[in-house]
Structure 1
Amino acid sequence: MPSASYFRFFDLPAELRTNILSYLLISRYGIVLYNCTLFGLTATDRVTFLYIFLVNVQMYQEASAIFYSRNRFILNGQSHRLPGHLTKAGGFLSPQGRDARRRVQTLSLYLTRVGGEFENVLAPAISDMILSGSLRSLKICLGPPSSQHARISGPNINIMTTVPFQALLDLLADPDLQHVELCVWKVHWSIFCRFHENLEASTKEKTSETVDDHGLATIRGHPDWIQLDWQAMIENFRAGERILKIKDVDS
């Protein structure tokens, strides 16, 4: 029988090991923490990082550092309630998942409404990821309100003064974040309209925006997600005091 052959991966220079692990562990689609039809991936696109992590201690240290720091993690909270596997023991939002989520550097969060679960579960977890962890890039996308909610709430809804939305503004204002984005869907509450850009001027396309009797604005002729000036929103609606870094106070 021919002698067994093998290759000693850790005999490679560290730079080559990093290149190989990066190829295996960095997803161009992002790492989806809650998989549903909106963010579904095919079987060939799924990252089987767990098997690599289990090789040995050194492999875990090198591979997990790349996985958590160089991937964009996507958390889809657009369902009526957060899925159980996120909050159950060992889930991303559970106490057992705290150390892992603290290593994430880039997070995109998709919401339909900013309500109690955001205030009580998501906001504290994300705040901890910033304060005690490595999270430095945060993107929050607010999906379209349900038509039923719009009919009940009426055109004068002011969600920015609610306690959950104040928690969202507190997150965006965290001085340790280095990159922040806030987006709304092309169908959104009209209260957001004053905070998005002049769409026709920015895209050089013919756009139109209409507002219905329920206070829902609809933009036509523009990509689906619209950037908001979150800093202006904070200046106008945030009730809390500005958080300063120690170096900002000293200067």
Structure 2
Amino acid sequence: MAANKAFRFFDLPPELRGAVFSQLLVSDESIILHDTTFFTLPSAGNWNFLNVFLVNMQMYQEASAIFYSMNRFTLNAHSHRLPVHLTSRGGFLSEEGKDARRRVRNLTLYLTRVGGEFERVIGPALSDMVLNGNLRELVMRLGPPSSLGASRPPERDMEQRPPFQALLRLLADPYLEKVKLLAWKAHLAIFCPFHLRINSSRTDTESVDNQGIAILRNSTGWVELDWRAMVDVYAPGQKIVRIGDRTY
């Protein structure tokens, strides 16, 4: 090939173009969500992969489809208030960010507590991503260790309050294909009956303080919760039906 001859990328078969995009745009690590126009691939270094999206419309359509569907995204909402960059104009949770977030397939959410901001902002955004978008895999991690000690005591009937019920409705959404709920080893006592035991022969030492916080002494970090059992107990009217389980 002559040195000055252009390479016609779109003359490649679609499957080869897809393989190239996957090498460029898919990371083994989760991508932290800042807003709809600022992403950082962990292995990208100083290379701005968004330049690929700006070549032309066909490049954007093919490349962004792979980027949003094949990467794992992380939404960090574990501060006391939602970070401004998520809710301000153009942010991931803003009205302008709706089209972009609807394209995400796999999301991990870090959440300090299930409160009003979850009910008003995060929950509706995630439900919209499921119903009107491509979100199919959701991991929720409740209660980072840095903030649990400073949290105010939970309301006695918190599991019956609208924010917690919104969480249960989201987890039970039939269009979600994979759902996982985890709590930090120091967590609200209402989660204690729902620990999933990886090794049923192991006895964990757990204590509860006067603020309603339980500490699982033998755990090294996150503990998985049986969210289906939680739905059955706290939202018995919320039937869990997975799309693949339906019979007609």
Per the alignment, residue 212 of structure 1 pairs with 209
Report the identity percentage: 52
Alignment of 1:139-154 (within 5 A): 139-144=139-144, 146-149=148-151, 152-153=152-153
Q: Decide whether the 8 Å contact of 1:175 with 1:243 is kept in 2.
A: yes
- In structure 1, the residue matched to 2:168 is 169
Q: 1:143 to 1:23 in 2, by over 3 A?
A: same
Distance 1:46 1:142, change over 3 A: farther
Moved more, 3-12 or 104-113: 3-12
Matched residue type, 1:197: L
Question: 1:14 deviation in Å?
Answer: 1.7
The count of corresponding residues between Structure 1 and Structure 2 is 241
> For residue 19 of structure 2, what is the amino acid of its counterpart?
N
- Partner of 1:190 in structure 2? 189
Corresponding position of 1:228:
225
TM-superposed CA distance for 1:8, in Å, is: 2.1
Q: What is the alpha-carbon root mean square deviation over aligned residues? A: 2.9
Give the aligned residue type for 1:221. Answer: N
Which residue pairs with 1:237 in the alignment?
Answer: 234
In 2, Cα distance between equivalents of 1:47 and 1:141: 31
Matches of 1:19 and 1:216 in 2, distance apart? 48
TM-score of the pair, normalised by structure 1: 0.85
Q: Distance in 1 between matches of 2:77 and 2:33?
A: 10
Displacement of 1:211 after TM fit?
2.0
> Any unmatched runs of 5+ in structure 2?
none
Structure 1 unaligned regions, length at least 5: none
* Cα displacement (A) at 1:103: 0.9
User: Which residue is 2:84 aligned to?
Assistant: 84
Distance 2:47 2:156 in 1: 42
Name whichever of 12-21 and 103-112 sits farther off: 12-21
**Residue of structure 1 equivalent to 2:200:** 201
* TM-superposed deviation, 1:33: 0.6
Structure 1 residues 245, 43: CA separation in 2 closer, same or farther (over 3 Å shift)?
closer
Deviation, structure 1 residue 91: 1.3
Q: Higher helix fraction: Structure 1 or Structure 2?
A: 1
| Counterpart residue type for residue 215 of structure 1 | G
User: Cα deviations across residues 196-219 of structure 1 (Å, max 9, x unaligned)?
Assistant: 1235527x6x74222223222112
Q: Specify the alignment match of 1:109 in structure 2.
A: 109
TM-score when normalising by structure 2:
0.86
Correspondence for 2:22: 22
CA–CA separation in structure 1 for the residues paired with 2:47 and 2:66: 13
Structure 1 stretches of 4+ moved >4 Å: 40-47, 243-250
Contact 2:34–2:91 (8 Å) recurs in 1: no
Q: Secondary structure at the match of 1:183?
A: strand
Change in Cα spacing, 1:34 to 1:100, as seen in structure 2 (3 Å) is closer
Q: How does 1:50-65 map to 2 (within 5 A)?
A: 50-65=50-65
